């Protein structure tokens, strides 16, 4: 998929000290007409004219250069989701966090440093809601001459997306101006195809043809904006073997629960009667917030089956089945083999508690707002609704520029209350500011993410840039220190995006061994747009190899919108 110019360049290889090969890709962002559901045909911004965008394929330890040329109508950034980018945050991508947008009619050569990642990750735009159509897979194969810890015959990549009837930038700009909920998507797509559950789409169904007796690796990427999903294939068991670019102990299951931002590597054996079967994505909706409760279907078709027959439908948990979601997520375990060891931090030197809330802000004077009871919808972490600066925090940090951010994001909520109980007596307004959380190099960090009942409670998929982390605990209600003794510190999943249960908590751990400026945010795009974000600034270590690399010479300027 897309333009690939991979080759080894000896001089660059020596320069960057890469252990693997150096690969090159060209990404051209441009407006592209897409036909979808008849009445929603429109032009969207794509990479290389593709929706989803081109696949990046490399081996563990390779270094990848992507020359991103923006021919679109406004500035855009690209993020390499799940790549740690050790000591090199300059190409991480979130706008006004590590860079300013790439202006129209200009280019930025982004460097992707693969280190420990192995499995399926993805890339996407990180500007407003442009990732709706600007995204694609990153497939990271094992190091040359090594094997997967499982066997399969063939692999397929499945990218779930959301399709909107109008330009997504217009949708979120209008919602932020009015203070109300943004418009919902009108369809879900599998590899760009909405499937036959929508009007005017019967001929647009993603189809995998399989051979009876063969085993297939499905690389599943949730690139959607605002809805979590269940997934299954009728009459077939699934075996989850990887997530977010790391291996898992094989988990046999009837279905998956996958949030926006997450990836899963799944084995399925074609061991049923020769026929064709629906594979279905169905939303998990655990709140009263507006949601798109459509489904999307593809077909898992055996070679030799008759396509005129109606495919068998699977049984999935219902839209609001919270226990169905939790029962899947809490069973995930790291592989923790001799070749893929878990190294869970156990000497915690920094404990942080962060409340996760959907808030409201008062409507400004002389304005009519579309939020609850005439308010402005908002969101926060530790009662701080993140305000995006006008230049990148990384550039301000590296160059010691004052006045861009405050180093005062708190280690704990500003006050203690019954987070998941009756909060009706509490005000729902958060402080709007640009706060960052300062962390010393090599600290062993535990962050307890505590959901709250403020506003509209729901599951929040939280993503941390620059790190994967171990999910050592998860539960309902308010976190208690007594739960620490029940943590899994042997083989917890090692991932980069985790759901904080509705009115519940999640505890994660990582070692702060990657200096730089790293964004942390909810991967439900409406919540991130409302301020459910913060920034972790991990300081340099004392040694040269523990410090952030200097910036490249072609960083996008912060003076052009």
Residues 27-58 pLDDT 10s = 999 999 999 998 888 999 999 999 999 999 99
Note the pLDDT of residue 40: 83
Over residues 60-77, the mean pLDDT reads 97
Q: What is the DSSP string of 23-92?
A: EEEEEEEEEEEE--TTTT-EEEEEETTBSS-PPEEEETT-EEEEEEEE-SSS-B-EEEET---TT-GGGS
As given in the structure block, the two tokens for residue 186 are 């009108």
Q: Flag whether pLDDT at 16 surpasses 80.
A: no
pLDDT at 108 over 50: yes
Residue 496 pLDDT > 80, yes or no? yes
Q: How far apart are CA 124 and CA 137, in angstroms?
A: 9
| CA distance linking residue 445 with residue 177, whole number of Å | 37
* Average pLDDT estimate for 188-216: 92
Instruction: List where CATH 2.60.40.420 sits in the chain.
Output: 19-146, 148-341, 350-538
Tell me the two tokens of residue 280.
Answer: 């279905």
Other Cβ atoms less than 10 A from the Cβ of 85: the count is 27
Which comes out higher in pLDDT, residue 321 or 399? Answer: 399
Say yes or no to pLDDT of 554 above 90.
yes
pLDDT at 326: 86
For the chain, helix (H) and strand (E) counts, in that order, are: 5, 32
- Computed over every residue of the chain, the mean pLDDT equals 93
> Rounded mean pLDDT of 458-487?
97
Is the pLDDT reported for residue 15 higher than 90?
no
pLDDT at 412 (0 to 100): 96
More confident site: 558 or 438: 438
Cβ atoms within 10 Å, residue 543: 8
* CATH 2.60.40.420 at 148-341, yes or no: yes
Per-residue pLDDT band for 19 (boundaries 50, 70, 90) equals low
Residue spans of beta strands (DSSP E) within 234-317: 238-243, 246-253, 256-258, 263-269, 276-284, 296-302
Mean per-residue pLDDT for 64-77?
97
Own/partner long-range contacts of 31-39 (Cβ < 8 Å, ≥24 apart): 31/71, 31/72, 31/73, 34/133, 34/192, 36/163, 36/187, 36/189, 36/194, 36/201, 37/163, 37/186, 37/187, 37/194, 37/198, 37/199, 37/200, 37/201, 38/199, 38/200, 39/165, 39/200
Q: Does domain 350-538 have CATH number 2.60.40.420?
A: yes
* pLDDT band, very low/low/confident/very high, at 320 (cuts 50, 70, 90): confident
Q: Does pLDDT of 325 surpass 90?
A: no
**Distance in angstroms (rounded) separating the CA atoms of residues 78 and 46:** 12
Mean pLDDT on 402-430: 90
Q: CA-to-CA distance for 265 and 243, rounded, in angstroms? A: 6
19-146: what fold?
Immunoglobulin-like (2.60.40)
d(CA 209, CA 275): 10
């Amino acid at each position: 998929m897309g333009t690939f110019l991979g080759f080894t360049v000896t001089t660059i290889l020596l320069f960057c000290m890469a252990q693997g090969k150096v690969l090159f890709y060209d990404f051209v962002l441009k407006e592209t007409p897409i036909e979808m559901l008849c009445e929603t045909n429109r032009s969207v911004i794509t990479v290389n004219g593709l929706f989803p965008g081109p696949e990046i394929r490399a081996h563990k330890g390779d270094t990848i250069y992507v020359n991103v040329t923006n021919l679109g109508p406004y500035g855009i950034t690209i993020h390499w989701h799940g790549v740690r980018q050790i000591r090199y945050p300059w190409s991480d991508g979130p706008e006004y966090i590590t860079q300013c947008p790439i202006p129209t009619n200009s280019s930025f050569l982004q460097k992707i440093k693969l280190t420990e990642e192995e499995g399926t990750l993805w890339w996407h735009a990180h500007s407003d809601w442009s990732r709706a159509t600007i995204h694609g897979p990153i497939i990271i194969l094992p190091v040359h001459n090594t094997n997967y810890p499982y066997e399969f015959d063939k692999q397929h990549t499945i990218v779930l997306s959301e399709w909107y009837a109008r330009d997504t930038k217009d949708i979120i700009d209008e919602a932020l101006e009015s203070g109300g909920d943004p418009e919902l998507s009108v369809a879900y797509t599998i590899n760009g195809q909405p499937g036959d559950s929508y009007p005017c789409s019967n001929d647009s169904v993603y189809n995998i043809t399989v051979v009876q007796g063969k085993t297939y690796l499905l690389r599943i990427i949730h690139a959607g904006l605002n809805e979590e999903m269940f997934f299954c294939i009728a009459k077939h068991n699934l075996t989850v073997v990887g997530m977010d670019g790391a291996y898992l102990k094989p988990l046999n299951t009837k279905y998956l629960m996958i949030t926006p931002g997450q990836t899963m590597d799944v084995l399925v054996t074609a061991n049923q009667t020769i026929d064709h079967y629906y594979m279905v994505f169905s939303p998990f909706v655990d709140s009263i917030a507006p949601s798109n409760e459509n489904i999307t279907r593809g077909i898992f078709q055996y070679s030799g089956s008759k396509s005129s027959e109606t495919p068998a439908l699977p049984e999935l948990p219902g839209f609001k089945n919270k226990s169905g979601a939790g029962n899947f997520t809490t069973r995930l375990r790291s592989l923790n083999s001799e070749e893929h060891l878990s190294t869970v931090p156990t000497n915690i030197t920094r404990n942080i508690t962060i409340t996760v809330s959907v808030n409201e802000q008062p409507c400004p004077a002389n304005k009519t707002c579309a939020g609850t009871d005439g308010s402005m919808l908002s969101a926060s972490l530790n009662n701080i609704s993140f305000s995006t600066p006008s230049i990148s925090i990384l550039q301000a940090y590296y160059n010691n520029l004052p006045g861009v951010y405050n180093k005062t994001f708190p280690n704990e909520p500003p006050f203690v209350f019954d987070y998941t109980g009756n909060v009706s007596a509490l005000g729902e307004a958060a402080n709007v500011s640009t706060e960052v959380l300062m962390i010393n190099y090599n600290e062993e960090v535990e962050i307890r993410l505590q959901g709250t009942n403020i506003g509209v409670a729901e599951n929040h998929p939280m993503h941390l840039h620059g790190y994967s982390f171990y999910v050592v605990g998860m539960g309902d209600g308010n976190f208690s220190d007594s739960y620490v003794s029940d943590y899994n510190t042997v083989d917890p999943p090692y991932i980069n995006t985790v759901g904080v249960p509705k009115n519940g908590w999640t505890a994660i751990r990582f070692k702060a061994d990657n200096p730089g400026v790293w964004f942390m945010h909810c991967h439900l795009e409406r919540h991130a747009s409302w301020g459910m974000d913060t920034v972790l600034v991990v300081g340099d270590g004392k040694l040269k190899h523990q410090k952030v690399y200097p910036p490249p010479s072609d960083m996008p300027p912060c003076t052009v919108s």
